[in-house]
Amino acid sequence: MHVQEWLDTVPAVAVYAVVGLVIGLESLGIPLPGEIILVSAALLSSQHGGIDPLVLGACASAGAVIGDSIGYAIGRKGGRPLLAWLGRKFPRHFSEGHVATAERSFQKWGMWAVFFGRFVALLRIFAGPLAGVLRMPYWKFLIANVLGGIVWAGGTTAVIYYVGIVAESWLKRFSWLGLVLAVAIGVTSMLVLKKKAKNAQPVSAAE
């Protein structure tokens, strides 16, 4: 089956649901490949006429904001015992060292840690629960959470979508080889954006 024919069989609603769910669960504090799923879906939307990139970006943003908010509520209620429990369940992601690093970032940067944390894998998982554990005022968390979620999800979708459009001619000429190339270009673009975001230092901490 030709790549384009295969892509056309993927239901748009299924893509929206998977993206929103995976990103929501990751934002809640469960280690899942939310960014990889979003990049793949955005690339798919550039080749699948039935998948609207605006709807995709909106679903990703909603998943990020809702997941982070639930994580905040869980963290606020569970407190530090929750972090200890997560450390036992997911030692690779919630080790004492990772928790300490994330906590220092929150204490130093406040709201900025929530915003920029959306672009960093470790902080993206920690942001909601840790903000709740540290009892950051919810209105501050919500502002940073909404802005970070929209910029991250919308920006990622837009960048990868247009990369896919540019690569469309390659897909037509080289079938699956073009798809592999497009994926490689998309992932490389996101790695560059992530590195820039990670190295960006906020000018001041929000109190």
Residue 205 lies in a domain: no
Residue 204 lies in a domain: no
d(CA 10, CA 198): 34
Contacts for 33-38: CB closer than 8 Å, 24+ residues apart = 34/63, 34/64, 34/124, 35/121, 35/124, 35/156, 35/190, 38/153, 38/156, 38/157, 38/160
Residue 131 lies in a domain: yes
Residue-wise pLDDT tens digits, 116-169: 878 877 777 778 888 888 788 888 889 999 999 999 999 889 888 887 776 555
Residue 160 corresponds to which tokens in the numbers above? 């990868």
Provide the number of structural domains found in the chain. 1
Residue 184 lies in a domain: yes
Residue with the two structure tokens 């940067």 = 109
Residue-wise pLDDT tens digits, 6-42: 556 668 888 899 999 999 998 887 878 888 888 888 8
- Residue 91 amino acid letter: P
Residue 207 lies in a domain: no
Residue 19 lies in a domain: yes
User: CB-based burial of residue 129 (10 Å sphere; 0-12 exposed, 13-18 middle, 19+ buried)?
Assistant: buried
Residue 47 corresponds to which tokens in the numbers above? 């080749």
Range of the domain at 147: 3-199
Residue 145 lies in a domain: yes
Residue 124 corresponds to which tokens in the numbers above? 């993206």
Residue 206 lies in a domain: no
